[in-house]
Amino acid sequence: MIDESRVLPPGIAADVVLSEVRQLRAGDRPTHGGQLFAYVYDPAVPGLDELAAAAHRESAHVNGLDPTAFPSLLAMENALVGTAGRVLGAGPGTTAPDVVGSVTSGGTESLILAVKTARDAHPEIDAPRIVVPSTAHAAFAKAAHYLRVALDVVPVSPDTLRPDPSAMAAAIRPETVLVACSAPSYAHGVVDPVAEIAAAAAAAGVRCHVDACFGGWTLPYLRRLGEPVPAFDFTVPGVTSISVDLHKYAYAPKGVSVLLHRDAQLRAPQYFAYADWPGYTMINPVIASTRSGGPIAAAYATLRHLGDDGYLRLAEATRDAVAGLADAVRAIDGLRLMAEPESTVVCFTATEGGPDLFVLVDELTARGWHTQPQLSYAGLPASVHLTVTASVAPRVAEFGPALADAVAAARTAGPVALPPKLVALATSLTPDALTPELVAGLAGGLGLGAGDATPDRMAVVNTLLDAAPPALRERLLVEFVGLLQRPTW
């Protein structure tokens, strides 16, 4: 008999549920195997996934809300902070012996907290501001938006892809609470002139945050391998905080970043404390209150297992993979590197008469290589981004021929020809004029309708977005994603 009061389907066997999850996962891009150059960080170390999963399981139900109730989590968190500090030039016997920090859920949370901490250190400033280079991660803009802090963006040189330190210095105002820079930047993988920027910030009495979320774990190892990595960490005077994501190049499963401050006094405004209600007094160092111990334990296990020798080996494999991929790009007529690789990114663009990059990205996808297109921005051309991890090393020799083949196919196909009406719309429409109906029509025309999977060929969508100014790109994509995010009843 059917129970009419039932709101959910009846429970099903564990193995059936798991096979459901696996079936859903089959449609995803491959997280392992060295062919996905964004979103995932795969060291290809046998047994590491199993170890991290086991550690996650041990602590999944532990709550980081109260460190006195679960000392295991506090111990692991302190160990992660200490290890991150050591990697970044801090700890006993260094010039930054008093570094403290917290584990957050990811780079974005670390950056939001770095901005919040800087803002709350200056309650006397009514309209706080932060200074960032234009290549700073979008999470700074998100932080500024969430926290009502104004964002002063300093353009980067189209040649070096770095900001001029004197322009960063000139952007500092009396209301500036934080100056930030990247080591390295996500888009191009270049390290900003941290020492000069930190010196300018210090001279103005302003905090300086180094966003080392992306490659901060690898740079010190690359330096030890002989690469010319400039000082970017706590050895640099004036650097007051650094973020580094363990779920990136520390190869921990997702959900773990570390935010470090040079000393406890600098960290103090990061805490949120509230006793003015009848429940428990809430003391939160990070944005979340209840926090699963799972990701922290998984990261702890990953770091302990890989150790210094493991990370050095992985950095070496990654460095060799980067060199091989960069050579493959250099060998192609019509492509050029945006910057000589200095970390773990290969980023290239097309030269005059070169292939259409968005078509090329689709051709690479069709050959099993998943790269990330980057739209043109403020005088910088559209480009293709490759985040390179250790798992790419054994596949490098296959990439060159695939790239050559994909370029030939992209040249044959030619660039995407958008209907002139669509181009006119993309270039003239203001975000406010975008009605849901217009977006739905556009999405339908581009094969992005509700309930559809994302299409294999994205060149048309990328070409349209590339023609649109950033504010319109934002609106269009918000609407598109809104179309995808519909409940299954």
Binding stretches for ligand PLP (CB under 6 A):
106-108, 111, 137, 139, 182, 186, 211, 213-214, 245, 257
DSSP letters for 219-273: HHHHHHTT--PPP-STTSTT--EEEEETTTTT-PPSS-EEEEESSHHHHGGG-EE
* Complex with ligand PLP: residue 213 or 252, whichever CB lies closer: 213
Work out how close the CB of 448 gets to ligand PLP at its nearest, in angstroms, rounded to a whole number.
23
* Complex with ligand PLP: residue 386 or 448, whichever CB lies closer: 386
Backbone angles phi, psi at 458, to 5 degrees: -105, 0
DSSP state of 156: B
Work out how close the CB of 106 gets to ligand PLP at its nearest, in angstroms, rounded to a whole number.
3
Q: Are 33 and 278 in contact (CB under 8 A)?
A: no
Work out how close the CB of 484 gets to ligand PLP at its nearest, in angstroms, rounded to a whole number.
19
* Complex with ligand PLP: residue 185 or 349, whichever CB lies closer: 185
Q: Report the distance separating Cα 408 and Cα 412, nearest Å.
A: 6
Number of neighbours of residue 413 by Cβ within 10 angstroms: 16
Work out how close the CB of 440 gets to ligand PLP at its nearest, in angstroms, rounded to a whole number.
29
* Complex with ligand PLP: residue 137 or 207, whichever CB lies closer: 137
Q: Report the distance separating Cα 299 and Cα 297, nearest Å.
A: 5
Q: Report the distance separating Cα 413 and Cα 411, nearest Å.
A: 5
Work out how close the CB of 5 gets to ligand PLP at its nearest, in angstroms, rounded to a whole number.
42
Alpha carbon distances (Å) from 425 to 232, 375, 416, 429, 467: 44, 18, 16, 5, 9
The closest alpha carbon to 389, from 247, 225, 223, 229, belongs to: 247
Dihedral sign, Cα of residue 28, residue 29, residue 31, residue 33:
positive
Work out how close the CB of 24 gets to ligand PLP at its nearest, in angstroms, rounded to a whole number.
22
The Cα angle at residue 372 between residues 473 and 221, in degrees rounded to 5: 125
Work out how close the CB of 90 gets to ligand PLP at its nearest, in angstroms, rounded to a whole number.
19
Work out how close the CB of 295 gets to ligand PLP at its nearest, in angstroms, rounded to a whole number.
12
SS3 content of the chain, % helix, strand, coil (to 5): 45, 15, 45
Question: Residue 317 corresponds to which amino acid?
Answer: A
* Complex with ligand PLP: residue 371 or 463, whichever CB lies closer: 371
Peptide bond into 184 cis (omega under 30): yes
* Complex with ligand PLP: residue 107 or 193, whichever CB lies closer: 107
* Complex with ligand PLP: residue 219 or 332, whichever CB lies closer: 219
Residue nearest to ligand PLP (CB): 107
Number of neighbours of residue 475 by Cβ within 10 angstroms: 18
* Complex with ligand PLP: residue 39 or 274, whichever CB lies closer: 39
Q: Are 177 and 121 in contact (CB under 8 A)?
A: yes
Work out how close the CB of 23 gets to ligand PLP at its nearest, in angstroms, rounded to a whole number.
27
Work out how close the CB of 115 gets to ligand PLP at its nearest, in angstroms, rounded to a whole number.
12
* Complex with ligand PLP: residue 20 or 474, whichever CB lies closer: 474
* Complex with ligand PLP: residue 268 or 481, whichever CB lies closer: 481
